[in-house]
């Protein structure tokens, strides 16, 4: 092979120097290519106790690990030689439109993670054309979320509290503010055992102790934001009185039943969705009770450890009640391909919780925008590689659920 001395002009053609990004937040977020990347940034920038509260689950965290593993064990079956110049990611869910097949799940204490909290989530959701769900235990009020996303779809997640009048009042407020869907949550009769929180001595609001001070030293920006912004509290519950602990205790009520569901159905003018369904039998019961949809969920693995994996339940539930109810799913979603797989197996919609919170902790509103953008890019790319042009074209033939465990059914177990 003949060699030659490189010419300066040719070297210059190869040299492409990128203009440095001086904005540190933008530089960090631009470098994040996956939700896992955002998680790494969030962990670096957030005190350990707060990060662990967000990242952790109940007891041995088996439910969360299994839920994430279930999505990783998906095998796709793409079509070939189909013309797909573009894809349509839009859908309708619970009586209205969404630009994407996912929305933001309800999360409590959201301003604890980063002070922009729910307003960042609602604003980002509204800008992306997807729904945002406010928790009963949210740190922004119903009215504040409405102001943050005045034209977006806002949903409310309801805990039926020991004092029923508190829950009824929140239901009326959400309806008056124009929230169009209510999530009646059924998987939290008592609080799950969050062992990370206990080991960290975590409390809400956070307390200054020797360990928290040491953990804070490399993260002064978090404490500056926390101490110079409005007090952390349950924004929709401030008028009810009581300490944070008392309000938490009152939010968990093991006595709620189907009569409570009937009362809320009578009160609520919009779509009513039961969140936290974990068996086929319960899905069947709900199909005849006047609800509009269900969310298959084990509360992000934060309640009963070893609970069923919602994604594994999905095909059987859709076969049983899909003609009568819209079925959504959450828990374990960390990639746009997870969302595509869920839609292919019959989910009308999906919800992301931690994925959005990692973005929030990594960069406030801009971090949430980045999380939404990452998931959107992954959805579009996965659909193009499967060679489908719309969500309606996704079917169970596109997905095989691989499994690392074998279910052993007892004779009286409902499947």
- 129: left (phi > 0), else alpha (psi -120 to 50), else beta? left
Residue 387 near residue 78, CB atoms below 8 Å: yes
299, 312, 335, 398: which is the annotated catalytic residue? 299
**Residue carrying the six token digits 């967000």:** 54
pLDDT at residue number 6: 79
Over range 238-252, report the average pLDDT. Answer: 65
- Whether 299 is a known active-site residue: answer yes
pLDDT at 217: 77
User: Which residue pairs from 8-12 have beta carbons closer than 8 angstroms and sit at least 24 positions apart in sequence?
Assistant: none
Question: What residue has token string 């719309």?
Answer: 390
Calpha distance 121→365 (Å, rounded): 7
Give me the percent of the chain exceeding a pLDDT of 90. 74
17-21, 147-151, 185-189, 260-264: lowest mean pLDDT where? 17-21
Average pLDDT of the chain to the nearest whole number: 91
Q: Is 189 within 8 Å of 252 (Cβ atoms)? A: yes
pLDDT tens-digit series, residues 137-147? 999 999 999 99
The arithmetic mean of pLDDT across residues 149-163, rounded, is: 95
Strand partners, 154: 132
User: Residue 211: is its pLDDT beyond 80?
Assistant: no
pLDDT tier at 411, thresholds 50, 70, 90: very low
Q: DSSP label at 396?
A: G
Q: Is the pLDDT of residue 413 over 60?
A: no
For the chain, how are helix, strand and coil distributed in percent, rounded to 5?
A: 45, 10, 40
Q: How many beta carbons lie within 10 A of that of residue 288, not counting itself?
A: 10
Distance, in Å, from the CA atom of 206 to the CA atom of 204, rounded to the nearest integer, reads 5
């Amino acid at each position: 092979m003949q060699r030659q001395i490189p010419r300066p002009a040719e070297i210059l053609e190869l040299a492409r120097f990128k203009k440095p990004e001086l904005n540190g937040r933008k530089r960090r977020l631009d470098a994040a290519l996956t939700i896992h990347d955002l998680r790494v940034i969030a962990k670096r920038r957030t005190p350990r106790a707060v990060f662990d509260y967000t990242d952790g689950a109940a007891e041995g965290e088996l439910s969360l690990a299994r839920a994430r593993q279930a999505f990783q064990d998906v095998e796709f079956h793409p079509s070939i030689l189909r013309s797909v110049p573009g894809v349509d990611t839009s859908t309708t869910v619970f009586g209205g439109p969404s630009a994407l097949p996912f929305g933001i799940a309800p999360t409590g204490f959201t301003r604890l993670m980063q002070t922009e909290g729910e307003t960042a989530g609602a604003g980002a959701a509204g800008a992306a054309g997807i729904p945002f769900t406010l928790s009963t235990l949210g740190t922004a009020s119903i009215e504040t979320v409405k102001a943050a996303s005045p034209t977006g779809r806002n949903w409310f997640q309801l805990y039926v509290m020991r004092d029923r009048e508190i829950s009824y009042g929140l239901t009326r407020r959400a309806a008056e503010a124009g929230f169009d869907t209510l999530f009646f949550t059924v998987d939290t009769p008592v609080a799950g055992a969050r062992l990370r929180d206990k080991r960290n001595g975590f409390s809400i609001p956070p307390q200054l102790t020797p360990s928290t001070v040491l953990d804070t030293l490399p993260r002064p920006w978090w404490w500056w934001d926390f101490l110079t912004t409005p007090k952390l509290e349950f924004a929709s519950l401030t008028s009810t009185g009581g300490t944070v602990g008392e309000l938490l205790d009152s939010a968990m009520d093991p006595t709620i039943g189907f009569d409570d569901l009937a009362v809320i159905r009578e009160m609520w003018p919009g779509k009513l969705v039961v969140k936290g369904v974990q068996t086929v039998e319960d899905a069947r019961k709900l199909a005849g009770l006047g609800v509009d949809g269900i969310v298959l969920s084990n509360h992000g693995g934060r309640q009963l450890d070893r609970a069923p994996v919602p994604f594994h339940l999905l095909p059987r539930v859709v076969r049983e009640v899909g003609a009568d109810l819209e079925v959504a799913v959450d828990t374990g979603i960390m990639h746009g391909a997870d969302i595509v797989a869920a839609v292919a197996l019959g989910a009308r919609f999906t919800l992301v919780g931690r994925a959005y919170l990692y973005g929030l902790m990594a960069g406030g509103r801009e971090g949430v925008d980045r999380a939404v953008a990452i998931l959107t890019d992954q959805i579009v790319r996965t659909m193009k590689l499967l060679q489908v042009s719309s969500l309606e074209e996704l079917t169970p033939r596109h997905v095989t659920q691989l499994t690392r465990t074998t279910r052993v059914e007892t004779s009286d177990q409902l499947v």
